[in-house]
């Protein structure tokens, strides 16, 4: 089989009155990497879902190798040789790599002769530039390994057109470069064509031949990458929206606020330990903690919020031992913004106003109160909804009805309200659109300038580089580097994150 040419012709998708995709025509030439660029909500995923048969386009069609293709469901797409690697992996967690490969084949034999299958897989892998892990259950693999296995699976299934949905978002810079080089090599050799969904210009520039840019469901530009400048790409992607200005940093007084010494705890899997020997966050600074997903960040957050018992060491806040009780958090003015706030920091079916009041609903002007003051709660909520630009139909709607960015803003509003001395945030901008990201980062910088000590745990290296004064890297549950952000380069950080040269 050869690489496929895939074309969309005037593809339009309407959901009721809302047009998610408006007459998009694009051509992915055989044996090329074609980048699909756009902000969140620009229609990228709608477009690929139409191609893969998850949605049926309202108008327009699809040509594969110049012939019209009717795709009713993903199975049809697979029959034509179209495959997709999702951001949320579709590998089955409890099955091993080999089991995942074999069972995803439509013609999997009724009784699987494992030695024959393994020999066949081994033979197939000799033609590939990278080797996936096949014997471990997928749930034990790192994100990078899962990604590799996903891509191998698509090739193993005989797919010759692959859609990669932000494939590098879970990888270190080095891993990402390695993976994309392999993809590019496969394209150049004429084995596959690739549609690469991304929002990173660097990747577009280094690895894509052509680019298509979507904004609000419309195709606003495209062509050969070599003929477009980064500025032109940014302008097309963002429209006339102002490009973010670099946040202004003020000089601040530095006193140690959070001091973590020799703390240990068991990891989530229970098989290893998290050991943080020394981590200090001062007032008026942002310390970024970089690391690949699953290297102990979640556990560290849980240790700091008192959700994970410590087996050794202690945590100090402003010189006093801290075990994250509600009283201590209140006394020392410690606040948290955990990842996935709808799940970890909100009661989904309670209203926005109630969620905003979680920190102080039980406190009156003179000590603890027994009855809630609903009217004061509402007034405070209205003020914060305006102040933080939270888009909700009313203060009474359940927080689960809000978009991800607005949930994030709501929780941030709650955590930054009143006096805050220490803020611990994890992946605050994950999955948010451009404007929401800019707004949240601005808030964090403003808090820093006010003298708040901020520990920023993030898997987005760009975010850490942009926001933090100092940064640390975490790998296998241990801090591998600490220093000023200006003292280290991206690729050096990558080495500390991945642990190999």
Partner 1 sequence: MSEDLGLWAVPIAMLGGAIRVSTPFLFVSLGECLTERSGRINLGLEGTLVFGAMAGYAIAFETGSPWVGVLAAAIAGAVFGLFHGWICRFRGVNDIAMGIALMLLGIGLAFFFGKSYVQPIAPDLPAIPFGWWSDIPQVQAALQINALFVVGVVLAFAMAWFFKNAALGLRIRVVGDSTEAARAIGVNPDGIRLWSTAAGGALAGIGGAYLSLYYPGSWNEGISSGQGLMAVALVIFARWNPVMCLAAALLFGAAGAIGPALQTVGVTSGYYLFFAAPYVLTLALLILTSTPGKAQEGAPGELSITK
Contacting positions for partner 1 (CB under 8 A): 74-75, 78, 88, 90-95, 99, 102-104, 106, 108-112, 114, 266, 268-270, 308-309
Under DSSP, the state recorded for 308 is S
Burial class (CB within 10 angstroms; exposed 0-12, middle 13-18, buried 19+) of 245: exposed
Compare residues 5 and 96 and give the one whose CB is closer to partner 1: 96
Measured from the CB atom, the residue of 84 and 457 that comes closer to partner 1 is 84
Q: Which one, 104 or 264, has the nearer CB to partner 1?
A: 104
Give the nearer residue to partner 1 in terms of CB position, either 78 or 193. Answer: 78
Query: Please, what is the minimum distance in Å from the beta carbon of residue 212 to partner 1?
Result: 25
Are the CB atoms for 33 and 208 separated by under 8 Å? Answer: yes
Nearest to 414 by CA among 347, 459, 460: 347
The smaller minimum CB distance to partner 1, of residues 90 and 487, is found at: 90
What span, in angstroms and rounded, lies between the C-alpha atoms of 52 and 75? 9
Q: How far is the CB of 273 from partner 1 (least distance, A)?
A: 13
- Smallest distance, Å, CB 224 to partner 1? 33
The minimum distance between CB 87 and partner 1, in angstroms, equals: 13
Do the Cβ atoms of 473 and 290 come closer than 8 Å?
Answer: yes
Is residue 467 left, alpha or beta, with left meaning phi > 0 and alpha meaning psi from -120 to 50?
alpha
Smallest separation (angstroms) from partner 1 to the CB of 272: 12
Lookup: tokens for 210? 């052509």
**Residue 310 CB, nearest approach to partner 1 (Å):** 12
Q: Which is nearer to partner 1, 175 or 339 (CB)?
A: 339
Q: How far apart are CA 357 and CA 158, in angstroms?
A: 54
Give the DSSP letter string of 403-435: -HHHHHHHHHHHHHSS--SEEEEESTTTT--HH
- Nearest residue (CB) to partner 1, 343 versus 374: 343
CB distance 487 to 480 below 8 Å: no
What CA–CA distance (Å, rounded) separates 452 from 433? 26
Q: How far is the CB of 71 from partner 1 (least distance, A)?
A: 14
């Amino acid at each position: 089989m050869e690489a496929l040419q895939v074309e969309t012709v005037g593809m339009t998708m309407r959901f009721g009155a809302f047009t998610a995709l408006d007459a998009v025509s694009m051509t992915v030439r055989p044996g090329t990497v074609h980048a699909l660029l756009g902000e969140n909500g620009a229609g990228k995923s709608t477009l690929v879902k139409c191609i893969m048969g998850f949605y049926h386009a309202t108008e327009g069609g699809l040509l594969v190798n110049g012939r019209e293709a009717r795709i009713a469901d993903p199975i049809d797409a697979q029959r034509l040789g179209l495959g997709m690697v999702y951001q949320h992996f579709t590998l089955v967690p409890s099955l091993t790599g080999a089991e995942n490969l074999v069972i995803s084949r439509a013609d999997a034999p009724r009784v699987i002769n494992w030695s024959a299958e393994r020999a066949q897989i081994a033979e197939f892998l000799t033609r590939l530039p990278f080797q996936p892990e096949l014997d471990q259950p997928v749930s034990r693999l790192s994100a990078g390994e899962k990604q590799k296995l996903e891509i191998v699976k698509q090739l193993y299934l005989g797919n010759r057109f692959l859609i990669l949905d932000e494939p590098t978002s879970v990888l270190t810079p080095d891993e990402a470069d390695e993976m994309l080089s392999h993809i590019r090599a496969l394209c150049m050799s004429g084995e596959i064509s690739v549609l690469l969904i991304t929002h990173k210009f660097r990747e577009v520039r280094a690895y894509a031949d052509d680019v298509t840019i979507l904004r609000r469901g419309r195709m606003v530009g495209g062509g050969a990458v070599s003929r477009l400048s980064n500025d032109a790409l940014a302008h097309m992607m963002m429209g006339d929206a102002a490009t973010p200005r670099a946040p202004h940093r003020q000089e601040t007084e530095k006193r140690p606020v959070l001091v973590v010494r020799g703390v240990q705890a068991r990891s989530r899997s229970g098989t290893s330990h998290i050991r943080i020997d020394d981590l200090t966050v001062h007032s008026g600074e942002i310390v970024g903690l970089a690391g690949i997903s699953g290297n102990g960040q979640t556990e560290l957050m849980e240790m700091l919020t008192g959700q994970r018992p410590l087996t050794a060491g202690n945590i100090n806040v402003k010189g006093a031992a801290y075990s994250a009780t509600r009283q201590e958090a209140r006394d020392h003015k410690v606040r948290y913004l955990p990842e996935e706030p709808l799940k970890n920091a909100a009661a989904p079916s309670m209203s926005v106003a109630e969620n905003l009041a979680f920190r102080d609903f039980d406190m009156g002007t003179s000590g603890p109160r027994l009855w809630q003051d609903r009217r004061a709660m509402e007034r405070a909520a209205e003020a914060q909804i305006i102040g933080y630009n939270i888009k909700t139909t009313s203060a009474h709607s359940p927080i689960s009805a809000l978009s991800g960015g607005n949930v994030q803003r709501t929780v941030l509003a709650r955590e930054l309200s009143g006096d805050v001395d220490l803020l611990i945030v994890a992946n605050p901008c994950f999955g948010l659109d451009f404007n929401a990201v800019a707004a949240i980062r601005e808030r964090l910088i403003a808090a820093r300038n006010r003298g708040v000590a901020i520990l920023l745990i993030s898997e987005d290296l760009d975010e850490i580089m942009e926001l933090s004064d100092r940064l640390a890297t975490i790998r296998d549950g241990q801090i591998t580097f600490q220093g000023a952000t200006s003292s280290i380069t991206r690729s050096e950080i990558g080495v500390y994150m991945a642990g190999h040269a």
